[in-house]
Amino acid sequence: MHYVIMGCGRVGSSLAHSLERRHHTVAVIDVDVEAFRRLGPDFRGTTVKGVGFDRDVLLASDIDHADGFAAVSSGDNSNILAARVVRESFGVDNVVARIYDQGRAEVYERLGIPTVATVRWTADNVLRRLVPDGIAGLWHDPSGNVQLVEVPCHVGWIGHTIRSIELEIRTPVPALTRYGSAMVVADSTVLQSGDIVYAMVESDRLVDVQTTMSAPPLEH
C-alpha cells in the first residue's frame, strides 16, 4: 500500500519509517527540504518539497494511488486544509490530521475527519500516569456513544480470565498491555499483576464498569 505524509518533523519521520517497516511505500511532503534529513539514509520513499494542499505537490507524491494520508505538520490550519483537499479532491477516505487545538479537533471529528489532538492526548496520558484513578478515555466515536477506555482493576481480579471479566462488566475487553507491550486477548487470557486493561464501553455505562472493576469480584 502507498501512504502520503505531510510534515517531516519527529512525528512524520517516525511514521514514515514505521510504514516502511511494514513494507508500505511512502511519500513525505514538507516545505523545508532540510527537514528530510530526519528520514536518514535508509529511507527508500519519495520526498516532495511543498505544501500538502497544493495539487501539483500532491500529484508528485502519487496521491492518486494513495491508500492513506496523514497531515502531521506543525500547523492546525494546514493539516485540516490538506486533509480536506485530499479527501474531497482526490477521494482518499483514509485521512488523519494532527491538531493542537482540542476544540477544533472535536469539530472536525464531527465532520468525519479523524484527528489526533496532540496537546490533550499528551496531557491525558501524563495525568493517567500521575493520578491513575478511575477510567481513562483513549478514544471515542464522533457521536460520543462508544469509548475505548483504560480500566483500573482491583487486585482481586488478578488470576481471572478476560472472558469472566467481560461477562461481569457486560462489555468487550479487546486488548491489554503487559510488560509494556500491547496484546490482543483471548477468552482464556488470565489477568496478571501490572496488566493495563482496555475495554470498549458504551458511554452511559462507564460508571457501572468502573464500579465493578474497582471492587473485588463477587463470589458466585
If asked whether residues 70 and 38 sit together in one domain, one would say yes
> Given this model, what pLDDT does residue 203 score?
87
Distance, CA of 95 to CA of 82 (rounded, Å) = 9
If asked whether residues 86 and 182 sit together in one domain, one would say no
State the pLDDT confidence band at 152, using cuts at 50, 70 and 90: confident
> Where in the sequence is the domain holding 26, given as residue range(s)?
2-118
On whether residue 97 sits in a domain, the answer given is yes
DSSP conformation class of 197: E
User: Which domain-ending residue is among 118, 142, 164?
Assistant: 118
On whether residue 123 sits in a domain, the answer given is no
Contact 210, 151 (CB under 8 A): yes
pLDDT at 31 over 90: yes
If asked whether residues 195 and 90 sit together in one domain, one would say no
pLDDT at 150 over 80: yes
User: What's the pLDDT tens digit per position in 51-62?
Assistant: 999 999 999 999
If asked whether residues 45 and 104 sit together in one domain, one would say yes
User: Which domain-ending residue is among 97, 118, 139?
Assistant: 118
User: Residue with C-alpha cell 482526490?
Assistant: 90
**Which among 60, 66, 20, 68 is positioned nearest to 43, based on CA atoms?**
20
On whether residue 101 sits in a domain, the answer given is yes
Q: Which H helix or E strand runs over 73?
A: none
Distance, CA of 52 to CA of 36 (rounded, Å) = 15
User: Residue with C-alpha cell 477506555?
Assistant: 149
Contact 142, 112 (CB under 8 A): yes
If asked whether residues 86 and 170 sit together in one domain, one would say no
Q: Between the CA of residue 6 and those of 54, 100, 157, what are the distances in Å?
A: 11, 16, 45
Residue type, 59: L
Return the SS3 of 189.
coil
On whether residue 124 sits in a domain, the answer given is no
| CATH value at residue 143 | 3.30.70.1450
If asked whether residues 113 and 13 sit together in one domain, one would say yes
On whether residue 102 sits in a domain, the answer given is yes
On whether residue 219 sits in a domain, the answer given is no
User: Which domain-ending residue is among 84, 118, 152?
Assistant: 118
> Given this model, what pLDDT does residue 98 score?
83
Antiparallel, parallel or unpaired: β 196-202 and 2-6: unpaired
Q: Between the CA of residue 138 and those of 116, 152, 199, what are the distances in Å?
A: 11, 13, 10
User: What's the pLDDT tens digit per position in 96-121?
Assistant: 888 877 666 666 666 666 666 665 55
| CATH value at residue 114 | 3.40.50.720
pLDDT at 45 over 80: yes
Number of domains in the chain: 2
> Given this model, what pLDDT does residue 124 score?
59
